[in-house]
Structure 1
């Protein structure tokens, strides 16, 4: 029986190096020190989907006291051995239950026209279809980690998209200059701070 629970703090570094850094491109790999700092502030949570002691998937949730009722799904992944078996959708369902009806779960996924490698376009399109299939509603575009992203909410879109965008941006905080909500057409996404030269 699988369950979603907190990943023990002593497993954070192993998760970071063996899962996050092998699955996500460098522009999306938030430094481990930043994750630790956010966790120490009570703003970041690493959840694992476990079958007994075995980690099968993971989700990180990022929130902030300045925007109650909004949570950002920062990373969602399934371990390599368990991919394409329905666990990603199961995790979204468990996250929906965990957050409850009073919380808006914000999801970002790379847009097909993100500017990434053309050969990865089918993968980007599959990711977007996955989120739609599992009850996510597209709400607007954003820049994040030097990419153009489609932003979703899990469930129905809230009536006040301006408040959603404001909360979304506030979760990242003022130092993340690479995050732009609803960027103007033709704008170029900035690099995340960990890739600036």
Structure 2
């Protein structure tokens, strides 16, 4: 694991799944990511084998305090922030914002690239406490300039630990107020195939985009 100056923070790409850096990042992942949204370790390793998927560790004083996993294809013009998590002991000090910005900039190939972010929806069958948590998470991303794809219910293709929660997509990097449905569909199909190892004709893709044409409002 890299040793930094005390208090110094740095973004380090995790290249070796046998390293202490990987284990420290995975410990945060398993503790902080909701169970229903987690991949198995085998799935994590399989996705990291894809050349466009990058795992970042955020290190402070030699200690891993956060991680992010970003899908950044070279020619698509659209990226996905798959996961972002901060260790409980480091939460509340602005580390999440720093990690988000640093991993986005380090992964982005083209300045015009759009970033998608998977987030839990506050709608549906959730209690008041959980709804507040989900709204707080969305507010975190909104403060960083992200907007929600209105009228779009994203289906997270994971069922390792029971049904995935209802999800939305947020977007960063769009100056326009509307997103072409065809562009979003192409991006989501690539995410399904390259991040989640789904078939290109996965029926959930058709279900998500049924009845959607033209463009979608960013709110």
Question: Do the structures match in fold with TM over 0.5?
Answer: yes
Match of 1:48 among 50, 57, 80: 57
Please list the CA deviations of residues 82-105 of structure 1 after superposition, one character each: whole Å capped at 9, or x if unmatched.
001111111222234322523221
Whole-angstrom CA distance in 2 between matches of 1:51 and 1:87: 10
CA RMSD after TM alignment: 2.6
Whole-angstrom CA distance in 2 between matches of 1:184 and 1:121: 27
Are 2:168 and 1:150 equivalent residues in the alignment?
Answer: yes
Greater alpha carbon shift after TM alignment, 72-81 vs 56-65: 56-65
Whole-angstrom CA distance in 2 between matches of 1:133 and 1:7: 28
Whole-angstrom CA distance in 2 between matches of 1:44 and 1:135: 23
SS at match of 1:105: strand
SS at match of 1:113: coil
Say whether the 8 Å CA contact 1:72–1:168 is kept in structure 2.
no
Match of 2:143 among 112, 118, 133: 133
Whole-angstrom CA distance in 1 between matches of 2:204 and 2:99: 26
**What is the deviation of 1:150?**
1.8
TM-score using structure 2 length: 0.72
**Which structure shows the bigger proportion of residues in strand conformation?**
1
Structure 2, unpaired ranges of 5+: 1-7, 159-163, 212-219
Structure 1, unpaired ranges of 5+: 186-197
Aligned residue pairs total 183
Are 2:102 and 1:84 equivalent residues in the alignment?
Answer: no
Within-5 A mapping of 1:5-44: 5-9=12-16, 10=19, 11-16=21-26, 18-44=27-53
